[in-house]
Each structure stands twice: as C-alpha cells, then as structure tokens.
Amino acid sequence: MEKQEIIKKIKKGKIFIYPTDTIYGIGCDATNQQSVNKIKQIKKRKNKPMSVIAPNISWIKDHLIIDIDLDKYLPGPFTIILKKKNKNFLKHVSDTDMLGIRIPKCNITKTIQMSGVPFITTSVNLAGEKPITKISEIPDQIKDQIDVIIDQGPLTGKPSTIIIGEKQIKR
C-alpha cells in the first residue's frame, strides 16, 4: 500500500496493525476517540493508558513538559513518559496527567508522521500474553476487527523500553 493511501486511511479513523522497530503494534489516529475506544475494546483494556507515535518533536514540545534529552531516545525502541501541559489533552488515550510518546525507528513511522496526527501505539497482544513478532501469531478474533494490516515479515524485537525522567524500565 502506498504512503498516500495509508495517510488517507489514518485520517478516516481506520484501525491498523503495523510493524514497529520492536514488535507489531495496533494503532489509529489518536485524536479519533471512536477508533481509540475500538482499540481498547479489541485489546480488552478499559482504563489503562496508551502511548502515541508523535507526529514530530515540535508536537511533543507543544503538548508535553520535556524533562529529558529527547534526541538521546528518539527515534528508537523507547516509550518516553512525559507530563502533559494540559491534563485533559488526549484524555481518552491517557486519563492521567502523563502520556507515553514513541517515534519508532522504522519505515512506517515516517508515513504515519506525514498524517500530522498522533497515532496510537500499543502492542497487538492481549495483556499478559507474549509480544507478537509475526502477523501469523495474531489471533483471528483480533485480525477480524482490523481495517489495515501491514506485514513486514518477522520482527526481532521485544517491547520498547520505558523511560521516565532518564530512568529506563525494561519490560
């Protein structure tokens, strides 16, 4: 699928399974509350905060309080937890005053960023199950609810490392 088609589908609120620099993720336009709620339903997670792929560094600076050197971690296999400037910002994504930010170091990230919107990034697996590195490992009950699947073949990663104020938290 070409870039413009992916961008159009993001803006229409479509739900994606896509490769990251670690594992396969599930995502959508984070500003589309209906699509975000559908991902929560698919993943069976009601109130657990989710992270986003940021459209760019200036978007992060506009909406979040930067307390670390972003260049040290982004792009890369990290989820950086930052305090929101306005705690109601993307409240349907994270109802806390914090938001997880990623910029995976992989090809699809640039296309997602070209949409200009924050994009949900959460692992495809259900909570407690092992991360998914091949499309064939995704249960049909999840695949059946997805609009777009981007298969990049087997991925080698494990979940991103969480960064909170320069502290690394392995998962």
CATH number at residue 96: 3.90.870.10
78 has pLDDT over 80? yes
Identify the CA nearest to 63 among candidates 112, 103, 23, 98: 98
* Calpha distance 119→164 (Å, rounded): 20
The residue range of the domain holding 81 is 3-169
Q: What is the pLDDT of residue 127?
A: 80
Mean pLDDT of 89-106: 96
Mean pLDDT of 24-49: 94
Mean pLDDT of 8-31: 97
Per-residue pLDDT band at 1 (split at 50, 70, 90): confident
171 has pLDDT over 70? no
* Calpha distance 81→150 (Å, rounded): 27
Per-residue pLDDT band at 168 (split at 50, 70, 90): confident
170 has pLDDT over 80? no
Per-residue pLDDT band at 45 (split at 50, 70, 90): confident
Q: What is the pLDDT of residue 97?
A: 96
Q: What is the pLDDT of residue 95?
A: 93
Spatial neighbors of 158 by CB under 8 A, at least 6 apart, are: 22, 23, 131, 171
Q: What is the pLDDT of residue 61?
A: 97
Total of domains in the chain: 1
pLDDT (tens digit per residue) in 146-167: 999 999 999 988 889 999 987 8
Pairing mode of beta strands 51-53, 98-102: parallel
44 has pLDDT over 90? no
Mean pLDDT of 111-122: 97
Mean pLDDT of 33-37: 97
